[in-house]
């Protein structure tokens, strides 16, 4: 492993509910899934704000029930979307935190931090989770990390991918590549279980996570990984199954107690956490109990739920998953019997009914459960990161070909979308189509770029537009060339040319519509640095106060011990009592009003210097006592 962080690249699975980070260990020629400070290999994608500090990961999720309005999760469901999106409107009814419309209809998250209302871009929240993953990696590697490969759902559109790159930039990362989650999982499966595969094998990846669902069909032959087709839903996963349970139990509680908790964010957060635990439990048992003490107005909540009822509540979504599987195979023009391996990825793929339906669809074929569904995506991302870093020995030299999830084209005639790149086209790709002007003597043409599968352009997503000027005045039918190019990250650029007597005009669209500007990104990077500085300042103060508190405890204990008390001089006792009083006053002041960190730290140093002989004497006496 390179000692310099610039040469070390990590793979990050930025998930809706949990995130994971991994790195290639050059000394052992393998991928290491990195544990966080709690010893867990997956970290909750939660960010919380209090009057004192900002929390990320486990610490944020653990206090969600007591601080629901300022605990943000599901940021991945917001990223790259509009506030007016019907999907977002539905989610907002379930989220305890506030989401408002910002400039250009971008969703903004409203929280209270240090007693003040703060408006945050979704990219900022995602960047905080990415920063946490980077810090976890840096603690393990003992060196700075700048380069990363970040995964996204295969069905993320262009704006969602670019927003994810923006989040990485704000987090201080150089995003080397955006890679699709099922493709990353296929790399993990191929390298772990199908090394040196000489004959071509068809691998079907079924990736059902906390907030998104993706399926991809790949062929693996040797080190060649080629995606044939992909399909999915960027708004389907474990969170939706939890929501169904919450809705069910809210009604049950209302029926039994005549009380409605639908508007109480704290009660809903506690109930949601209990439902999430119950969902996991039902994956290995057929019945469980959802219990929450004093859920609402002092009333305890205790209801049992069977696996059958859970399946009934979510059956339409389970069946939607299977329909998506069928769609992917049809797109690839492949029969289900031709699939060699069906690989399960994502925590929600553990649900027994999902596995049963999937196995029935593939006519009883055994499902591959040999790779860890929570870690496979980060594993594949780390392999790609090591490959892109260069100079790292023994990294598997695989060749990866992905596909574009949605069709791309331009507006022609009256609201008709002309497809230039059909969905499931292998990327990277560059394709040029010829068009003509539709009116006489046009000197300029508006090129509007769309993404989607509908015939009407207005039913699809407008990615952006630009004007091609400099066209000579001619009758309609003047030829133009429009070129679409998709790079390794799945990012699109579009250009148009007009050639007459050797002259040409060209412009490229980079889709800034709805995206953070360069100035905004710079501002958010500075904001992120301020957040980190505030976090460090809080930890410094907490450590200084803990040191004072520890000192007070130790001194009080020494004075209460008869044997040690008899060995101290009256002058030493007076010094200890005086020190306890001053330290206690500082602690009380620090808890109730702002106290300069330097004042606390300086007094800790003063105590260490002044009372080192006394403390040493006490420690020695404790050792012999």
Q: Is 173 exposed, middle or buried, given 0-12, 13-18 or 19+ CB atoms closer than 10 A?
A: buried
Closest CA to 169 of 515, 538, 535, 461: 515
Instruction: Identify each DSSP E strand in 491-607 by its residue range.
Output: 492-497, 506-509
Q: Which residues contact 129 (CB under 8 A, 6 or more apart)?
A: 14, 19, 43, 45, 47, 56, 57, 75
443: its two tokens: 């000197």
161: its two tokens: 């991918």
1: its two tokens: 């492993």
Active-site residues: which are they? 13, 76, 181, 207
Q: Give the N- to C-terminal CA distance of the chain in Å, as an integer.
A: 49
Residue 231 CA to residue 547 CA, distance in Å, equals: 55
CA distances from 162 to 80, 153, 232, 397, 493 (A): 8, 13, 19, 27, 12
Residue 509 CA to residue 484 CA, distance in Å, equals: 10
The neighbouring-strand residues paired with 289 are 304
Question: What count of Cα atoms within 13 Å lies in the side-chain half-sphere of residue 166?
Answer: 26
Residue 181 CA to residue 152 CA, distance in Å, equals: 6
Peptide bond into 428 cis (omega under 30): yes
């Amino acid at each position: 492993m390179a000692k310099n962080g610039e040469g070390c690249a990590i793979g990050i699975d930025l998930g809706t509910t949990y995130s994971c980070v991994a790195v290639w260990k050059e000394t052992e020629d393998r991928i290491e899934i990195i544990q966080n400070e709690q010893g867990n290999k997956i970290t909750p994608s939660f960010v919380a704000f209090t009057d004192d500090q900002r929390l990320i990961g486990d610490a944020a999720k653990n206090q969600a029930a007591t601080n629901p309005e300022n605990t943000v999760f599901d940021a991945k469901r917001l990223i790259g979307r509009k506030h007016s999106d019907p999907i977002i409107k539905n989610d907002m009814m379930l989220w305890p935190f506030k989401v408002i419309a910002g400039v250009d209809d971008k969703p903004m998250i409203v929280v209270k931090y240090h007693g003040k209302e703060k408006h945050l871009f979704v990219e900022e929240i995602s960047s905080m989770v990415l920063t946490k993953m980077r810090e976890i990696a840096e603690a393990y590697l003992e060196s700075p990390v700048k380069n990363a490969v970040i995964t996204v759902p295969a069905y993320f559109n262009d704006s969602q991918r670019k927003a994810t790159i923006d989040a990485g930039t704000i987090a201080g990362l150089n995003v080397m590549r955006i890679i699709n989650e099922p493709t990353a999982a296929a790399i993990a499966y191929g390298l772990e279980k199908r090394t040196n595969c000489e004959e071509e094998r068809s691998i079907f990846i079924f990736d059902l996570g906390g907030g998104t669902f993706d399926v991809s069909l790949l062929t693996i032959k040797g080190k060649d990984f080629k995606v044939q087709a992909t399909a999915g839903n960027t708004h389907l996963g474990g969170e939706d199954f939890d929501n169904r349970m919450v809705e069910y139990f809210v009604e049950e509680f209302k029926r039994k107690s005549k009380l409605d908790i639908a508007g109480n964010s704290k009660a809903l957060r506690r109930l949601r956490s209990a439902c999430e635990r119950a969902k996991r439990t039902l994956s290995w048992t057929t019945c469980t109990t959802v219990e929450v003490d004093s859920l609402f107005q002092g009333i305890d909540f205790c209801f049992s739920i069977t696996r059958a009822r859970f399946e009934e509540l979510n059956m339409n979504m389970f069946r939607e998953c299977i329909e998506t599987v069928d769609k992917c195979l049809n797109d690839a023009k492949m029969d289900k019997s031709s699939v060699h391996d069906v690989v399960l990825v994502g925590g929600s793929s553990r649900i027994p009914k999902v596995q049963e339906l999937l196995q029935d669809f593939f006519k009883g074929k055994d499902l591959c459960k040999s790779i860890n569904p929570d870690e496979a995506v980060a594993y594949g991302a780390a392999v790609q990161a090591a490959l892109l870093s260069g100079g790292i020995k023994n990294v598997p030299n695989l060749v990866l070909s992905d596909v574009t999830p949605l069709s791309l084209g331009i507006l022609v005639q009256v609201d008709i979308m002309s497809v230039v790149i059909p969905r499931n086209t292998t990327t990277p790709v560059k394709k040029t189509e010829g068009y003509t002007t539709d009116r006489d003597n046009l000197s300029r043409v508006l090129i509007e770029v769309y993404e989607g599968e509908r015939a009407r352009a207005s039913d699809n997503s407008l990615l952006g537009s630009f004007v091609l000027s400099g066209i000579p005045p001619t009758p309609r039918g003047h030829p133009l060339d429009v070129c679409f190019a998709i790079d390794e990250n799945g990012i699109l650029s579009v250009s148009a040319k007009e050639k007459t007597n050797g002259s040409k005009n060209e412009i490229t669209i980079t889709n800034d519509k709805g995206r953070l500007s360069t100035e905004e990104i710079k501002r958010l990077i500075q904001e992120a640095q301020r957040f980190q500085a505030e976090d460090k300042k809080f930890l410094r103060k907490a450590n200084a106060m803990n040191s004072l508190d520890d000192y007070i405890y130790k001194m009080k204990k020494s004075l209460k011990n008869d044997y040690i008390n008899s060995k101290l001089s009256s002058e030493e006792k007076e010094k200890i009592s005086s020190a306890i009083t001053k330290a206690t006053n500082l602690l009380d002041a620090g808890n109730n009003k702002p106290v300069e960190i330097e004042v606390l730290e300086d007094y800790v140093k003063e105590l260490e210097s002044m009372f080192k002989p006394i403390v040493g004497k006490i420690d020695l006496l404790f050792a012999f006592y």
